[in-house]
Chains A and B, each alone.
Chain A
Amino acid sequence: MSAPTGVMLETLTKDIRLEWRSKDAINSMLFFALLVVVVFSFSFDPNAEESRQIAGGLIWVAFLFASVVALNQTWARELRNQVLDAYRVSPAPANALFLAKAVGNFIFVVILEALMVPLFVVFYKLRVLGPAWQLIPVAALGTWAIVVNGTFFAAMSVRTRSREIMLPLLLFPITIPALISTVEATTVILVGDPATSAKFWIVLLATYDVMFTLACLALFETVLHAE
């Protein structure tokens, strides 16, 4: 039964190829990510010790805002010529489309993060005092949490008025536990206090990711086929 994974991979490669060709979306988003970091740096100008305490929060809020801009254009290409109708009429499983879009968004947002992190490190003179390797699962799980729900709510907002505002409106309340977890985990790792551990937060993030990925997969078909 390679059909669902086949469709998913095919859709993903198509999206990456198209994004690579036009590059306009990713260019403008990279620039937006840069702007966000700069604006934050002007607004919060702490010394090195304080910055470790608040950098976790700042970085993840910046990621969240940059992600929203990326997520809002998830379905833009599909809407242009009603391509979604072609998808709905085909036997391809809805979840394959969803996963392809979610993974595509994940890659996209990770690229944005990869740009923003060095800038934050430079502007805030950050040094990681705790186990730095733990930042990788935190970043991966945290990004997936935003992206999986974001892709789903982007599909829902597409069918509403004011769709650009609808996405963050639906997304932010739902991602609060993930945001708390990632911010806390990042802060714990940055500060490096041996009495604290990011493990609880990573486990909570993983639970969040599993629960909501399953919920999205269960409900996406219904949302796709709703008139």
Chain B
Amino acid sequence: MSESQAAPTDPVITVTNLVKQFGRFAALRGVSASFNAHRLYGILGDNGAGKTTMLRMLAGLVAPTRGEISILGTKSPRDVCRELGYMAHPSLLYDEMSGMENLHYFSRLYGLENDARCAEIITAVGLDPMLSRPVGQYSQGMRQRMSLARALLNDPKILLLDEPFSNVDIRSAREMVKLLAHMRDGGKTIFVVTHQASLLEGAADEFIWMDGGLIINRTPDLKFMETA
């Protein structure tokens, strides 16, 4: 691959006419868009708008009924899964293990064997790597941050985060946003699906508004929400 550092204007993900139907319910109705590198995108919209479906499709967890995805030059997210980090509302962690043990295990799935790196990432999200408490006993804020740490294990080029701030206290949420902006500045492309758009104000490069399975607008700020 000739791109070691995608220039900010190169599209890193392009979706063409993405359709996803679950029986009679159309979660996505023909989404076409392209997204550039080194950006923090906020994906906003009501429940049922298709945000989660699209994110899961970009992660390779859901196959489109119709349409195409081009991600980092390939047609299938699973081909580039090493460059993807995914975080969802369930924590994707084992409740019975501590944070460090969880990261230790998941890093092995990527063939990484660096415990020091796991400790670094845990510290970066603002948690204590030495904490031996099992994740199941964490507060929601801590759990979301540990989940984010898991998504960062393989140092992915693209981060896909689904509701990372839900039920998280304001302070933790703001720190997470700061961290995301910092990572964006460091070269990552980040997609955040959230209901709490105001948290991303100032940090996000672009807001993607979805409704009824389609992208209805893309704006650099939240003014659209006021006129909606």
Task: Determine if chain A interacts with chain B.
Answer: yes
Binding site for B on A (CB under 8 A): 3, 6-7, 10-11, 14, 18, 21-22, 77, 80-83, 85-92, 227
Could you tell me if A92 and B109 are in contact, using CB atoms closer than 8 angstroms?
Answer: yes
Q: Is the interface of A mostly helix, strand, loop or mixed?
A: helix
Within 8 A of A (CB), among B48-86: 59-63, 81-82, 84, 86
Residue pair A83, B94 in contact (C-beta under 8 Å): yes
B90 within 8 A of partner (CB): yes
B contact residues vs A (CB 8 Å cutoff):
59-63, 81-82, 84, 86, 88, 90-97, 101, 105-106, 108-111, 150, 154
* CB-based contact A89/B61 at 8 Å: yes
Cα A18 to Cα B111 in complex, Å, equals 21
Are A86 and B60 also in contact (CB < 8 A) when A7-B108, A91-B81 are? no
Q: How many A-B residue pairs have CB under 8 A?
A: 68
Complex CA distance for A90 and B94, rounded to whole angstroms: 16
Q: How far is the CB of A80 from chain B (nearest CB, A)?
A: 6
B188 to chain A, nearest CB (A): 16
- Residues of chain B contacted by A91 (CB below 8 angstroms): 81-82, 109-111
Expressed in whole angstroms, the minimum distance between the Cβ of B67 and any Cβ of chain A is: 16
Q: Per DSSP, are chain B's interface residues mostly helix, strand or loop, or mixed?
A: loop
Known contacts A7-B108, A7-B109, A227-B63; 20 additional CB pairs below 8 A are: A3-B111, A10-B105, A10-B109, A11-B105, A14-B94, A14-B97, A18-B96, A77-B94, A82-B88, A82-B90, A82-B92, A83-B93, A86-B92, A86-B106, A86-B109, A86-B150, A88-B61, A90-B154, A92-B110, A227-B61
CB distance from A27 to the nearest CB of B (A): 15
Q: Output the least CB separation between A151 and chain B (Å).
A: 19
Of the candidates B62, B88, B95, B110, the one whose C-beta lies within 8 Å of that of A90 is B110
A-B contact pairs, 26 of them (CB 8 A): A10-B109, A14-B97, A18-B97, A21-B96, A22-B96, A77-B94, A80-B95, A81-B90, A81-B94, A82-B90, A82-B92, A83-B92, A83-B94, A85-B92, A86-B86, A86-B109, A86-B150, A88-B61, A89-B60, A89-B61, A89-B81, A89-B84, A91-B82, A91-B109, A91-B110, A92-B109
